[in-house]
Amino acid sequence: MTIHEALLEAQAALAQLVEANEAKLEAQLLMQHVLNVNWAWLIAHANDALQPDIHADFESLLNRRLLGEPIAYILGYREFYGLKLKTTPDTLIPRPDTETLVEVALAKTSPFQAEKILDLGTGTGAIALAIASNRTGTQVTAVDASQAALNIAVENAENLNISNIHFILSDWFAALNNEKFDVIVSNPPYIEQSDAHLNQGDLRFEPMSALASGQDGLDDIRKIIDNCLVYLKPQGWLMLEHGYHQAEQVADLMAQIGLTHIETIKDLGGNDRVTIGKNPLIVSTHWD
Ligand code: GLN
């Protein structure tokens, strides 16, 4: 059997699970993985014979995928904002929607200033690493309450040679001292605990603590908003990812604690995805 023939078979099987385009892409990704080659090699060698042992490896990965295991966990990585990130069942799988949060953070920070940025619930480190690598003058602090997730984030930073970032084991702000930040970003869990999506697709395999957050999905968002002013510099920004139907509630919570310039930004799919607000306090000057 040739590589191409094996790909076609896999593609047909995967089409039961995902859309046709996605099925083709996933079949190719699994094949690249077992052959340890890039996409260009795969296409150029489509008519090569597939060795039986490699074919067996391919079938075993394919079967895992057909049982619903996320492609990111099978491959062990996911691309996010141009970065290849190690991704395991200890971490949420980085999603394209979250690139919106990175874009917003980059838009509000300057490449020419040494700003301090905090990422709450960093998981694989996706957001923190994307910001740190595009704002090399900044100092990024990334926290997570899961030591297992933090280990992955640290490994990702090392693999990518990104050094303007440090990692702290912390339940949201709990382990932070009196440090203040120019920007606080977070993609916290925000799904309603009774949402049926938690029992579907990739979400079944992801850490529940990174997905669900109480009855209305806003428990963690409330915690972050209620505590953020202690850690935000005057004029600093809070930027939160949330569910497509949560923008108004998040904006209200931000308004309640006095944040200004509140704005919601849509993701590439056109859904409300990120809401930001600014600490209105001005640095006061004392003349004694
Ligand atoms: N965006 C993810 C989803 O809806 C959820 C991630 C999260 O809760 N932060 O699948």
CATH, domain 91-278, list 3.40.50.150, 3.40.605.10, 3.30.360.10, 2.40.50.100: 3.40.50.150
Q: Give the atom of ligand 1 at the shortest distance from the alpha carbon of 188.
A: 9
Q: Which atom of ligand 1 is nearest to the CA of 191?
A: 8
CA-to-CA separations, 163 to 79, 134, 137, 160, 252, in angstroms, rounded = 19, 12, 11, 9, 36
pTM: 0.94
Residue 221: CB atoms within 10 Å: 26
Supply the DSSP symbol for 121: S
Tell me, using a 6 A CB cutoff, whether residue 157 lines ligand 1: no
Determine the Cα–Cα distance for residues 75 and 81; give it in Å rounded to an integer: 18
Q: From ligand 1's centre to the CA of 286, what distance in Å?
A: 45
Q: How far is the CA of 284 from the centre of ligand 1 (A)?
A: 39
Burial bucket for residue 15 (CB in 10 Å: 0-12, 13-18, 19+):
middle
Q: Are 93 and 182 in contact (CB under 8 A)?
A: no
Q: Which atom of ligand 1 is nearest to the CA of 190?
A: 8
Whole-number Cα distances in Å, 275 to 5, 149, 267, 271, 280: 47, 25, 11, 12, 16
Q: Is 70 in the pocket of ligand 1 (CB under 6 A)?
A: no
Residue nearest to atom 5 of ligand 1 (CA): 211
Task: Per residue of the chain (288 residues), give pLDDT as tens.
Answer: 999 999 999 999 999 999 999 999 999 999 999 999 999 999 999 999 999 999 999 999 999 999 999 999 999 999 999 999 999 999 999 999 999 999 999 999 998 889 999 999 999 999 999 999 999 999 999 999 999 999 999 999 999 999 999 999 999 999 998 899 999 999 999 999 999 999 999 999 999 999 999 999 999 999 999 999 999 999 999 999 999 999 999 999 999 999 999 999 999 999 999 999 999 987 666 655
> Which sign, positive or negative, has the C-alpha torsion 79, 47, 23, 35?
negative
Spell out the domain ranges in the chain.
3-67, 91-278
Residue 194 near residue 216, CB atoms below 8 Å: no
Query: Is residue 191 in contact with ligand 1, taking CB distance under 6 Å?
Result: yes
Euclidean distance between the first and the last CA atom of the chain, given in angstroms as a whole number:
84
C-alpha neighbours within 13 Å on the C-beta side of residue 226? 8
Alpha carbon nearest to ligand 1 atom 9, residue? 189
Separation of CA 59 and ligand 1 centre (Å): 30
CB neighbours of residue 257 within 10 Å: 14
